[in-house]
Amino acid sequence: MTRKITSPVVNAETKAFWDAARQNSFLIPVCTACGKAHWYPRAICPFCADDKIAWREASGRGTIYTYSVMRRVREPYAIAHVTLAEGPTMLTNIVDCDFDKLYIGQPVAVVFQETENGPPAPMFRPA
């Protein structure tokens, strides 16, 4: 992929996530009070409002909830929402794929992609 990928902005709530990403580790936030995983990561649980959030290593497995291939640009790319095995659905890109063979429900696995000048971003490829 040669499309320039905008670097994620690392802030206090997501630093641990991006530090792990640099080590090729995909963490998801899980609330230890209600037991639910959420996305995007934040310090306050969106479900029960507790602040006891723990980072857990995710399986990196998911399925495509929906996607679209942006055709009207110099370098087409696939955007998607992927539902993780752990529950939450996240906005991402599908890479290393045949754009014409993507489908909803397709199993995918995480792959970290370099960004312009920040930590790598989690994207997915067909599993």
Residue ranges that bind other proteins, judged by CB under 8 A: 3, 5-11, 13-14, 18, 36-42, 45-47, 65-73, 77, 79-81, 87-93, 104, 113, 115, 121, 123
The pair phi, psi for residue 119, each rounded to 5°, is -70, 160
Q: Which is nearer to other proteins, 18 or 60 (CB)?
A: 18
Least gap, CB of 109 to other proteins (angstroms): 17
Q: Which is nearer to other proteins, 3 or 61 (CB)?
A: 3
- CA 16 from centroid of its chain's CA atoms: 14
Q: Which is nearer to other proteins, 57 or 114 (CB)?
A: 114
Element counts in the chain: helices (H) and strands (E): 1, 7
Least gap, CB of 126 to other proteins (angstroms): 16
Least gap, CB of 74 to other proteins (angstroms): 11
The SS3 call for residue 55 is strand
Least gap, CB of 118 to other proteins (angstroms): 9
Tokens 């989690």 correspond to 122
Q: Which is nearer to other proteins, 42 or 127 (CB)?
A: 42
Beta strands in the chain (DSSP E): 27-31, 53-57, 61-70, 77-84, 89-94, 107-113, 121-126
CB-CB contact of 30 with 46 (8 Å)? no
